[in-house]
Structure 1
């Protein structure tokens, strides 16, 4: 199963069904195999106290003021109305048949759960389910969890789920912050993990062959193989063949007519793989910086004179964020990938473009996911809300890489042309980039630069 962890439960045992397991150590944080406690419930994070202003909270405020009413529509219930209000495209539909929801009894290869997403929100729908499952990202607080009852009388709108969700959604795999993750697990005909098989934690660095176990995947990818579309009832269930993945019609797999679309687009899966982990990394950098600054303030030091220890707490997660933003370690594509739902076109159309018509949302899909490997999540409110020391560090490091001053191996996948294009796109489309970026973007490419060999996180 590969799955985005979107569930609400009061007991750890409920998570173990279907092979879905999270470390339930609230506040556990892992960076470079070093565990630290993140007291996000206390000052200055105040996760349970401070009012969230995530996309769902904004819609809920309109409902409470009587300005908006969600529409209940047949078998899909409030799903389509919620997607419209949150600007989540139907083409992002990804179908998962592992038992990874609190409503696990209703999920199987014959009745998969549907997930939809945009840059800030994830929505889960189960055919015949009792409620929608939603994760919405707040710029300062990270993942906020909601449910919405699937009954025609649910006029009160969304219910914020707090303690129940945090028990499951904070652990080593989310880097100690309220977050989400993707997993790939070989799944049997009942939707449980096949005996004697291993799970994989998935992001854009994961080998293609390890992805999407427990998910339906539509579209084509040539001779590349993955674990999607497979139902395996024994560990020796047979060799994975590329034909298992190159699927364009799911009608023979399960009754699909009740689902909003007939697709589980492979390009949507690739994008989902990338952005889920990045959401967590942005939250980690935010939390750690705020905590470091809070400690410095208590010690009587200001933001311009922080200690070496606090600086390290800020720069280690910020460096990891820089690398992930620039797709360091991305697993290569060896053949073209083609989606089938219209997601590729819709996703690309959402991005800002520079004067040459270029966008960070432009796809490559022949050797890597994007043509210009810098994440589109750099435009989100969550990135903009990074505290100043973290954002300054991220911008400085991006500048070093994009101007070829950093020639380290972590960024060897970026050609000089890649770096130049990304710099020019950001200067033209990203408000708030440092002023010296424009001068660098206007400078002839033949101008020499000072080399910096960055082989690890900076102290």
Structure 2
């Protein structure tokens, strides 16, 4: 249901009431259209309307910035016979080749060109995802906008004097703006039972995976290179469509370190589909969507609070208890996820096969004690220090002030408390101390502001 779109909005219905002021009609529409349907339950098209206006807003992301440079003649993209614009785009966007992961399930708009012999390659950095298909017509791209979440583009693989990234007008949102993405536009990592043709088993259970997912539910339809001991995943393995998924062989694709014999690795920029890259990809995809959900929910709450306040002659900045609860809910969901509270505990150490782990960790400076939020553990958990590195991203730092402040305050309470409460008991005292010290050293603005506010209150 779209905001304010209801049968009660028709002129005929409104005219049947002896309305003494316009206020009653406004309140009726607001109550029906906005508060009966929180963001998490609305259709994915609601962000096309006010206050988000997804497709009618100008965007700020790596692709829009690169396109401006191309248009001004300040940047050029080299084209190659084998990979088209892919190498140049990765270089221009600062996306490492070591991030390559390979997907052989037919889950792309270029479905006919994808198979277990010719998987789609995905490359990513902290805020942008690029997909390439052998002999494909285009590159598929998601770039995160701090205000709008995932923005979807294609780039034709035909050689051009002035390449143009084309923004999607809605087709991508069919798969990338639904319950799997928390009803916001963004990336998603899906694990599916996949046939030898690359066709998913329609009707079989599928999994949207992140750092909380059991290992056994991950990476169906992906190639996975790396070692993981006794744990088993769904990668590297197919199952015929006429075979029940209960017969899936979880051992067949375990601890694979090379893809020779499965694909021609010379066709790709890297011979790997790195296990650690996949784990980081899963974490950050969900984190991006939770950040976007918090942004959209807060913008929506603010929008309707303003309308309510005007209609009821309430103070300009008044916030209702319902509004406070809605913002608190998305803030707490974001906090729990960014602190890895529900993370799956690894039963065996994991190790990738490419340079990804080393290159990923090196993309952030260390504090004086040699620590950062990008350092990986890979023995019992993904990161050495369980706080998402994306708290330093533009998407997080540019959250609306109210929800960003609430997350920061709750984070400080959890990290400083001697006993953080049952919900956050998973974080050890050493974990909480280290995360706090890293943030103190990095001094992101949202963290510093919270510290200053805490000191001001203590003096009073």
Same fold (TM over 0.5): yes
Alignment counterpart, residue 48 of structure 1, candidates 50, 55, 78: 55
Aligned Cα root-mean-square deviation (Å):
2.3
Q: In structure 1, what is the Cα distance between the partners aligned to 2:260 and 2:38?
A: 44
Is the deviation greater in 115-124 or in 39-48? Answer: 39-48
Shift of 1:47: 1.1
Higher relative contact order (CA 8 A, sep 6+): 1
Check if 1:222 corresponds to 2:229.
yes
Q: 1:440 to 1:166 in 2, by over 3 A?
A: same
Q: 1:289 to 1:196 in 2, by over 3 A?
A: closer
The structure that is helix-richer by fraction is 2
Report if the CA contact (8 A) 2:408-2:450 is conserved: no
Q: In structure 2, what is the Cα distance between the partners aligned to 1:60 and 1:196?
A: 41
Shift of 1:112: 0.2
Shift of 1:154: 6.2
Check if 1:210 corresponds to 2:223.
no
Give matches, 1:168-183, under 5 Å.
168-183=175-190
Is the deviation greater in 398-407 or in 256-265? Answer: 398-407
Check if 1:357 corresponds to 2:364.
no
Alignment counterpart, residue 41 of structure 2, candidates 35, 38, 59: 35
* Poorly superposed stretches of 4+, deviation over 6 Å: 29-32, 438-441
Q: Which residue of 1 aligns with 2:201?
A: 194
The structure number with the bigger radius of gyration is: 2
Check if 1:159 corresponds to 2:172.
no
Alignment counterpart, residue 414 of structure 1, candidates 397, 406, 427: 427
Report if the CA contact (8 A) 1:70-1:157 is conserved: no
Report if the CA contact (8 A) 1:177-1:283 is conserved: yes
Q: Which residue of 2 aligns with 1:113?
A: 120
Structure 1: stretches of 5+ with no match in the other structure: 1-26, 442-459
Shift of 1:243: 5.7
1:82-134 Cα shifts (integer Å, max 9, x gaps):
00111111000000000011110100100000001111000000011000000
Give matches, 1:29-428, under 5 Å.
35-36=41-42, 39-153=46-160, 155-194=162-201, 197-233=204-240, 234-235=243-244, 238=247, 240-242=249-251, 244-298=253-307, 299-300=309-310, 304-404=317-417, 407-428=420-441
Give matches, 1:1-40, under 5 Å.
35-36=41-42, 39-40=46-47
1:293-313 Cα shifts (integer Å, max 9, x gaps):
111222245675311111122
Q: Which residue of 1 aligns with 2:448?
A: 434
Report if the CA contact (8 A) 1:132-1:149 is conserved: yes
Shift of 1:375: 0.2
Q: Which residue of 1 aligns with 2:15?
A: none
Shift of 1:162: 1.8
Is the deviation greater in 406-415 or in 172-181? Answer: 406-415
1:57-106 Cα shifts (integer Å, max 9, x gaps):
00001111111111102211100100011111100000000001111010
Q: 1:173 to 1:70 in 2, by over 3 A?
A: same
Q: In structure 1, what is the Cα distance between the partners aligned to 2:333 and 2:37?
A: 12
Aligned length: 413
Q: In structure 2, what is the Cα distance between the partners aligned to 1:236 and 1:243?
A: 14
Q: Which residue of 1 aligns with 2:9?
A: none
